[in-house]
Amino acid sequence: MTAAATEKADKIYGSMDDIAASGADAVEYAIIDGFKPNEKVRIGSVTAGDIIEWSQARVLEVIETHGSLVAWHAFQQSEEERELVTREAEMAEIEARAAALRAEAEGAIHDAELRARQAAAELSRRSGT
């Protein structure tokens, strides 16, 4: 198949205007079997614009109907984020205090060991051994 034949078979549109100009947004009708024997139903297609309009209307309806729920959910999320940040700050403060206490304890242990060695050396010196 040549490139021209392929392009003709698979039309590639460059913009929405090209699609509209090709008649793709025109309503097409089809006749389908109905719900009862020997019954036919004529249905019409919808355009992309119709679908977008319907979708936007549904979104607005949901927001109007459930707007307070959406606002509450957003509030809950912000509260949870605030609590998480607060907890993280508290944990950082606790860890810093624990590090300071560890350093203080290590210093106290070192001082105690030094005094014990000095006392042992003094006893050893006094006893002459």
Instruction: Give a yes or no: residue 61 inside a domain.
Output: no
Element (H, E) at 76: helix 48-127
93 falls within a domain: yes
* pLDDT digits 0-9 by tens, 60-89: 887 788 778 878 888 889 899 999 999 999
Question: Is residue 36 included in any domain, yes or no?
Answer: no
Query: pLDDT per residue over 93-115, tens digit each?
Result: 999 999 999 999 999 999 999 99
73: domain range? 67-129
Q: Is 52 helix (H, G, I), strand (E, B) or coil?
A: helix
In the chain, the number of structural domains is 1
Contacts (Cβ under 8 Å, ≥6 apart) of 29: 42, 43, 44, 45
List the structure tokens of 119: 């006392």
